[in-house]
Structure 1
Amino acid sequence: MSEKNSKNQLTERAGQAKIVRRIVFIVIAVILLVIIGVSLGGYIYITSALKPLEEESEETVEIEIPIGSSSSSIGQILEEKGVIKNGTIFRYYVTYKNEKGFQAGTYELSPSMDIDEIIHSLKDGTVIKEPELTFTIPEGTWYEDIISQIAEAVPYEEEEIESQLEDEEYVKDLVERFSILDEEVLEADIRYPLEGYLFPARYDFMEEKPELTYIIEQMIERMEENVVEFSEQLEASDYSIHELLTLASIVEREAQHEEDRPIIAGVLFNRLEEGMRLEVDPTVAYAIGEHRYMTSLEDTEIDSPYNTYRYGGLPPGPIASPGVNSIRAVMLPEDSEYLYFYARPNGEVIYNDNYEEHRRTQETYRSEWEEAEETE
């Protein structure tokens, strides 16, 4: 090859490299402009959503906030009533600022109010109307008892509530709409699909007869809100939400004192990791379908997938509605070497890391339960 041809090729390659560099530069510039544009647009939109929807408006809107409403449902109500621009941004803003303590009731709000003014009004609790209907579900309540307690407070019969809760098409619809629910609630072994998903709390409604589906969905939404608070732990866990709620329900039924909940949760995880049966009495009571003060040897032999004395792993689903402290305990269990725990009637829980010590504990304190049962 001649020296001239070599120089021409070098010149040509240098020209191609220059073109490639220009193309890369242009592409990068375009991408950066798009990112900047999207970010700027998002910033402008979010900023505008925090400002008054109509600053000069003299209109006031009557808005009802049910007791127990989540920030998500409050945002949705405010958006639908036309006092804020975006309910989702309201929810994230409230979460970011860690705003809590919203009061239920009927408020007069205006599109001329900014987000902070609306938040202040909802926390101040100056309402113009008291709720028409109220009920409270205690933590650890069984599904069947929840139905009875709701029926006592609302103008629906137990049969109506039960029929709605167990309607297969309705439950499938809920599974599609709520991230906390998945196909596990539809499995054949599940006694009640929504057992453990109806959050225990006080609920207030401004109508004398709210839609039954609205009542149910408020309870599921509250549970979802309390669970997704632990999204980081959920993502890192090897267990599904359904499994974690099942564990939380067991902790709820086992622990009388708050300080024991994370320790008991840790023991349950330890037993599962060791391949041991959980062998917890509340699952036996649930399998039998009766609240038991103490569990007999005969009780532990009942053939039910909920009986953790007979079957390994977790029961098919939750055995009660866990409260936020039991949920937190399962999401943030206390690490220990304990594999056994024994609850005394006075609420004290004794922990052991070997079976021999656990048996001695049982023998020492079992008579207390027999005496307590006799006095019942």
Structure 2
Amino acid sequence: MTNEQKELVKGTVPILKEHGVALTTYFYNRMLTQNPELKNVFNSANQHTGAQPTALAMSVLAYAEHIDNPSVLAHAVNRIANKHVSLDIRPEHYAIVGKHLLASIREVLGEAASPALIDAWAEAYGQLAEIMIGAEAGLYSSSVAKEGGWSSWRPFVVKQKVKESQEITSFYLYPSDEGAVAGFLPGQYITVRLYVPELNVFQPRQYSISCAPNGRYYRISVKREHGHPDRPEGYVSNLLHEQIEEGNVIEVSPPSGDFVLDLDDKNPVVFISGGVGLTPFMSMLEYMTESGKNRPVTWIHGCRGYEVHAFRDTVKELGSKHGAMSMHTFYDKMENNTEDSYYEGYVDLCRIDDAIVPDAAYYICGPGVFIKKHFAYLCAQGVDPQAIHFEEFGPAVLVM
């Protein structure tokens, strides 16, 4: 890109800050109308709530702001690349996206979209596409090279279906070809793809792997998402709970994700989860327990109450085996539990004596508002932001 083109792109930053979501919403509507086959790739619920357009708007804004040095976005690029690989996004998709993104800029900005500006954004998008395609090619190659690895979709059999709470059920997935399954880092997810009759399309959903690597199966633990005014009910989660039974075959893409346990770190670790956000931590805790890792663990979890508290007894058992773990549980309403490690109300780190641990690594998983609250508290207590790792379920919109 020329310096003049970079200045033109940076000049659109104020517009993106004010109208970015409107632009990306228009873009998705345009693209999915003219290329309906992509409805099999994108999460329809995230389109409905605006989460996907918001995430894209923030990504486009960040890229425009750092057009002089895109390398500062390496972490974000890696996270997005992992998500794209899990959805089987390929280089040819970038041409379609670029076509509709440039057309959307032209149509939304109207007379303000000069030919020079469109040319500048075409160059910028081409540069970004090259970065993403390169990052994704590396992830695809790495996945295929693993023992038991594969690319794209692979059929898996549901051999066990176990109810963990009123809302969360675990599915034990074994490859239908009876071969090995690729290893993964504790904290990673797999993507499940199911046909949704109401939408007449396939819908992919990412679910954290909730067991330690074992070479034979993956376990996902899925919360049944009931609908409410701000969000439709979960198409895929309801299909899994209601219609997928033991013996059924579903499509799965390889493990992905960069929210992972550092296997070489020997310092203490603090897990902070809300609701179904404990699932990646189940994999991490099980791995540390089975591998004899003696890192001190502080386990902090919050949910609405006893009946929806998944893995309650399993965590206690793993904690006992681990031998260096403290547990703290918050229920919105206490009910009849009088144990010292239980608290009434939302997760509140200031009520926990060992929440702040010197040299600890912190992992937070749950809704965006949950992550922001605890990230801010930890930073205010002097915790290095680089020691805080988080994963937001759904399209990533948090930048901290």
**What's the TM-score once normalised by structure 1's chain length?**
0.24
Higher strand share: 2
| Structure label with greater radius of gyration | 1
**What's the TM-score once normalised by structure 2's chain length?**
0.23
